[in-house]
Structure 1
Amino acid sequence: MRKNTYIAAFLLGLSLATTGCKKYLDINQDPDTPQNPDASSVFPAMLAAIPRGTQYDARYIGKYIQNFSTNTANNAWDIHNFQGYPTATDVGGDMWRQVYFGLGANLNYIINEGTKKRQWDYVGAAYALKALMFQMCTDEYGEVIFTEAFKENTSVFKYDTQPDVYRGVDSLCRLALANLQRTDLNPASSPLSKGDYIYNGNTALWTKFVNGLLARNFHRTTNKASYNADSVLYYIDRSFASGSDDFMVPFDASKNDDSNFFGTYRDNLGTFRQTKMIVGLLDGSLLAGSTTFNNRDPRIKHMLSTSTDTTNGNGGYRGVDPGVGETNTLNSRTAVPWGDSLYANPSSTRFDPTKGKFLFKDQVVSPVMSYAELQFMKAEAAFKTNKTLAYESYLKGINAHFDFINRATFPRSNKVIFNVTPISAVERANYLASANVKKSGGDLTITDIMLQKYIALWGWGFYETWVDMRRYHYTDIDGTTGQVVYKGFVIPALPAGNNGKLANRIRPRYNSEYVWNLPELERIGALAPDYHVKEMWFSIKD
């Protein structure tokens, strides 16, 4: 990171105001661009910036976890090929950009200004966003800059280990909770509701969100002797109580920058196709062992796209394998994510709220954390010691995802997710009674939990799914079934430079680290050709 780039454009006035131009600025104030903006005017931009990091880099993480694959053969990300000294590109560096530049010191500004004005609700919410972004950052890159993240007057920043960053995220969460629970707010200051379009200033919901972040943080270490399932359960029980608590970023879709990155207007999924893995999880073949209609998940018609040719035995749902690309022809090709029987974008470069499907519309939410996700996490945490609780949470997770798809209204009038009509009560009951869903805690396996969680996070929870897959090393065996946990996952034809390993991390952003911070990259081994397959600390068993 360069020493002067941590200040976002809309805060540039802060540095100018300290120069010899102060008098000039004092007599030429622009009310539309205040020199010391209130937290309420900065905070909305911070919320809008979250999808910038998550959705941009999801193009690559989504291929690692086989949510998507490319419709042509040998795509580098499909085959986990990102070794060697990187070229001058920031591909895979958008989360890094958002943590250190997009949100970065702007969140610090909200915290500092909010503290001066006793805007403890803004301070708490800003700490929550810092915790979220640093957690995702270390989950993606491994060792990252934390303690020196916003150190001034230097161009070389020390990297911290993952355990240190995890502890730092925990501390940020504690600060968030402490401030969100304060009642001595300055009544003259702008309330959080003025700048918060996620929870409309409801600090109780922000508190639940922070507890969810703590649950994520504790649950990362399932492979460690220090893992404490009780802590995970404790924070989940204090987090979301239903899907109405979900943290979702909405889009107005009035211009490019406030339109969903995955929507038709922005045209960023043109070569992306659903994989055989997600098709197999939803058509009955992987979970029930049969694609007969009774075993077909009713969510499939809302989440995936069908080809024109529906004669393949599962209703026409097709997918591609990573690195192989499209092998079908004509009307049997895998459809684009934006709709059934579509093989091209239906409305590129023009806003059309009627076009698109599922989470791939111009004006549809980008989820960040969901009740369903937390229930599956709870099921996994409880699995070894309390099968009854694990099974109860497993069923709650499935039903919560059905509710998520069926939801009738979203923030800021965002479009619904379901396709034409919601999933009916009969369809849901039939699915729960099918062979896809286990009927008791005694029959439940880790595979059941993780595959249902995979379905519930498909199309948005890319970071969480990648963490999960790496915790299970992609191909770990379920001790109960004797089969791999992630049934349907295909190991692509890996390049020689991977040494037979799948990707475990993405390299730090080129346009700051490989240009300005090479000594630190050399110290942590990031110049090695196979750095991208180096196992993460959280997934190493001890």
Structure 2
Amino acid sequence: MKIIKHIYISLLLVGVASCSDDYFDVNSSETAPTTASLEPQYRIQGAIENTTGTAQYRGMREVLGVVQYGSQNVANYYSETWSNEFTTGRYFLWQNAYVYALPNTADLIVLGNRYNSPNYVAVGKILRAYNFGMTTDQYGDIVTDQTYDGESSMNLTPEFVTQREVYATIFQLLDEAIDELQQPSAIGLDQEGGDVLYQGDQDQWIKFAKAIKARYLNHLSKKTSGDMAYDAQQIITLCQESFTSNADNAQVTFGGGEAENDNQPFSSTGYGSSRFDYFSDFFVEMLKNPLNLETPYEDPRLGIIVPEAVNGGYHGVVTGRGLDGLPSDDFSLGNGGFYTSATSPTYMMNYSEVKFIEAEAQFRSGNPGEAYTAFRMGVQADLEKLGVPNTQATAYLNELDTQVGSDNISLSHIMVQKYIANMLNPETWVDMRRMDYSADIYPGLQRPDNVNLDIFPGANDWIQAMMYEYNEEDRNYVNMPDNNPYIRLTTPVWWNTEE
């Protein structure tokens, strides 16, 4: 990741200066908003990297234990057992989105308009939609129109809008961006090498916008009426018009250099390394038997994603339990695999996810043959992305043909493979909630050890949303929805309710 230096505007930091978050401590060099000083070609990189390096990283860090990709070495860690900091609104996605990521997207839109470059306006809108999406999916109602827009005075007491309204805004931003990317622009997206996502290829940005729209339309799987009803055919069409191979993957790469923010955040040299001590028992065991067969068939990606334990084999730590007095060398470290090495990319969206979204939509439409075709393509794409040797990949795909095929394809098959392919993407938490944390969908899934029984007393009680950050509550409590943890953490967000 190339480093660009700018100065933060102090007004955006009101109420967060005392935060000791580890990312902010090392990332003063990340691009920050300063609308009038630079042309858009000098701002696009910061808009992309603040989306992935601050917002997406933080959104994933907080749910790493919730979705049971990783586990800590200590028992009762707050984000694994939904306790302590999870009930007080400290250090979550909120400030990273509103202080760093979204202001950069707003400035890019303003500058694109100012310099007769609708392509930059479009990229700003795509990234803005992406950030709004990540944020609303974790909180529900959020701030959209009254957040920093690059032109108006900063509003420290903005009004919140419903998640339904946020989704309408997301779809509008994406539609406008697709149109604007087809208009002539005075400045190319990669004129100064700032388009670290697609190197100025506007057709790929259009594909990305359509893929994001398919993702968010697919979230509406519990909506059966009204203008937000689940529309499987629209989703299928968008998927088929978006990514066509791994070459379209939306990913930010890292150089593995001396600077911490030139390393994958979840690597041993990244600024978030301490958050991923070990792979979880759930994830490792899933890879040992992803098809849930009586005679397990091991996934060839296991040893690529998960490092072997010092004492041999692949063993995860039970989420919420910690090492429980056992030797650390018995377990697979979180750092060092395909997704957690210094040069591992951060994936915003990949081709596999697009095919799994299409597979789900086809399945819900009663088209098992088409569902299996899309499903198989998604698995194959992920095997290729991870560099699985051809002989192993072919054998695994043949096993899918035998054990699954169009006759046996199920929602569980689709969601398990999507869970594996979307490693370290906060989108996984959306899926788990949409699937009601069902062990029928995710075989072997159980609530973590030492779960917070005060707020989640029942065996089927799972965390549904995040607390709004305490800084927002301190200055904007009049407009903020109920932030009582007994309500906030247990109430499903809008898209997860039937209507």
TM over 0.5: same fold?
yes
Structure 2 CA distance for partners of 1:299 and 1:285, relative to 1, 3 Å: closer
Q: 1:212–1:240: 8 Å Cα contact kept in structure 2?
A: yes
Structure-2 separation of matches of 1:504 and 1:193: 43
Report the AA paired with residue 272 of structure 1: D
- CA shift in 2, pair 1:308/1:101, >3 Å: closer
Residues 506, 437 of structure 1: alpha-carbon distance in 2 compared, 3 angstrom cutoff: farther
Shift in Å at residue 218 of structure 1? 0.7
Q: 2:12 aligns with which of 1, 5, 8?
A: 5
Corresponding residue of 2:474: 515
2:281–2:316 CA contact under 8 A, matched in 1: yes
Structure 1 Cα separation of the partners of residues 236 and 277 of structure 2:
36
Aligned residue pairs, count: 461
Q: Distance in 1 between matches of 2:240 and 2:218?
A: 14
- Counterparts of residues 242-321 of structure 1 (less than 5 Å): 242-254=245-257, 255-266=259-270, 268-270=272-274, 272-284=277-289, 287-291=292-296, 295-310=297-312, 316-321=313-318
Q: Which residue of 2 aligns with 1:63?
A: 65
Whether the aligned pair in 1 keeps the contact of 2:12 and 2:99 (CA below 8 Å) is yes
How far off is 1:436 after superposition?
A: 9.2
1:108-127 CA distance string (max 9 Å, x none): 22212211221121111111
Query: In the alignment, what sits opposite 2:211?
Result: 212
Q: Per the alignment, do residues 59 and 12 of structure 1 end up closer, same or farther by CA in structure 2, a change over 3 Å counting?
A: closer
Rate the CA distance shift 1:437–1:172 in 2: closer, same or farther, 3 A: farther
Q: Does 1:526 align with 2:483?
A: yes
Q: Closer, same or farther in 2 for the Cα pair 1:59/1:382, shift >3 Å?
A: same
Q: Identify if the C-alpha distance between structure 1 residues 12 and 124 changes in structure 2 by more than 3 Å, giving closer, same or farther.
A: closer
What is the distance in 2 between the residues matched to 1:399 and 1:12? 40
Cα RMSD (Å) of the superposition?
2.5
For 1:83 and 1:499, how far apart are their aligned partners in 2? Answer: 18
Pairing 1:434–2:399 present: yes
Of the two, which has the highest radius of gyration? 1
TM-score (normalised: structure 1): 0.80
User: Measured at CA, do residues 530 and 273 of structure 1 come closer, stay the same or move farther in structure 2, by a change above 3 Å?
Assistant: farther
Tell me, yes or no, if the aligned pair for 2:251 and 2:348 is still in contact at 8 Å.
yes
2:108 and 2:124 in contact (8 A); partners too: yes
2:164 pairs with 1:163: yes
Q: In 2, Cα distance between the equivalents of 1:308 and 1:6?
A: 44
Answering whether residue 412 of structure 2 is matched by residue 447 of structure 1, we say: yes
Shift of 1:5: 1.3
Deviation for aligned residue 1:167: 0.3
Q: What residue in structure 1 maps to residue 124 of structure 2?
A: 126
1:474 corresponds in structure 2 to 437
Which of the residues 447, 467, 472 maps onto 1:491? 447
Between the aligned partners of 2:162 and 2:220, the Cα distance in structure 1 is 14
Q: Which structure 2 residues correspond to residues 371-386 of structure 1 after superposition, within 5 A?
A: 371-384=351-364, 385-386=366-367
Partners in 1 of 2:395 and 2:189 — Cα distance?
47
1:388 to 350, 356, 369: 369
1:364 matched to which residue of 2? Answer: 344
SS of the aligned residue for 2:408 comes to: coil
Deviation at 1:467, TM superposition (A): 0.5
| CA deviation profile, 1:270-322 (whole Å, cap 9, x unmatched) | 4621112211221127622334xxx2211111001222334xxxxx1111222
Aligned to 1:238: 241
Tell me the amino acid that sits aligned with residue 261 of structure 2. D
Contact in 2 for aligned 1:86/1:510 (Cα 8 Å): yes
Separation in structure 2 between the aligned mates of residue 169 and residue 332 of structure 1, nearest angstrom: 46
The alpha carbon displacement at 1:404 in A equals: 0.7
Cα deviation 1:149-203 (Å, max 9, x = unaligned): 22636421111110000001011101111110113x22xx354443212111100
Q: Secondary structure at the match of 2:478?
A: helix
SS in structure 2 at match of 1:402: helix
Structure 1 residue 99, shift from structure 2 partner: 2.6
Q: Which letter maps to 1:131?
A: A
1:304 and 1:6 mapped to 2: Cα distance? 38
Q: 1:41 to 1:378 in 2, by over 3 A?
A: same
User: Does 366-375 or 319-328 show the bigger shift?
Assistant: 319-328
Residue in structure 2 matched with residue 142 of structure 1 by the alignment: 140
Any conservation in 1 of the 2:126–2:173 contact (CA below 8 Å)? Answer: yes
- Going from structure 1 to structure 2, the CA distance change for 1:279 and 1:436 (only over 3 Å counts) comes to farther
Structure 2 partner of 1:107: 105
Verify the 8 A CA contact 1:288 1:435 in the aligned structure 2: no
Task: Give me the TM-score of the superposition, normalised by structure 2.
Answer: 0.86
For the 8 Å contact 2:32–2:100, the answer to whether it is kept is no
Q: Distance in 2 between matches of 1:234 and 1:82?
A: 44
* Alpha-carbon distance between aligned partners in 2 of 1:48 and 1:74, rounded to the nearest angstrom: 32
Which stretch shows the higher mean deviation, 133-142 or 435-444? 435-444
Residues 436 and 105 (structure 1 numbering): CA distance in 2 closer, same or farther, change over 3 Å? same
Q: Secondary structure of 2:347's partner?
A: strand
Give the 3 Å change call, closer, same or farther, for CA 336–84 of structure 1 in structure 2: closer
C-alpha contact (below 8 Å) 1:84/1:527 kept by paired residues: no
**Structure 2 residue matching 1:289: 3-state secondary structure:** coil
1:12-64 Cα offsets, whole Å, 9 max, x none, are 766xxxxxxxxxxxxxxxxxxxx620101111111111222212332221110
Is residue 83–residue 497 contact of structure 1 (8 Å, CA) maintained in 2? Answer: no
| Corresponding residue SS for 2:71 | strand
Alpha-carbon spacing, 1:263–1:253, altered in 2? closer, same or farther (3 Å): same
Matched with 1:405 is: 386
SS of 2:337's equivalent?
Answer: coil
Decide whether the 8 Å contact of 2:280 with 2:318 is kept in 1.
yes
Amino acid at match of 1:323: G
Unaligned runs of 5+ in 2: 1-8, 15-27
**What SS does the corresponding residue of 1:519 show, helix, strand or coil?**
coil
Query: Partners in 2 of 1:362 and 1:262 — Cα distance?
Result: 8
Unaligned 5+ segments in structure 1 are 15-34, 311-315, 339-355, 407-422, 476-482
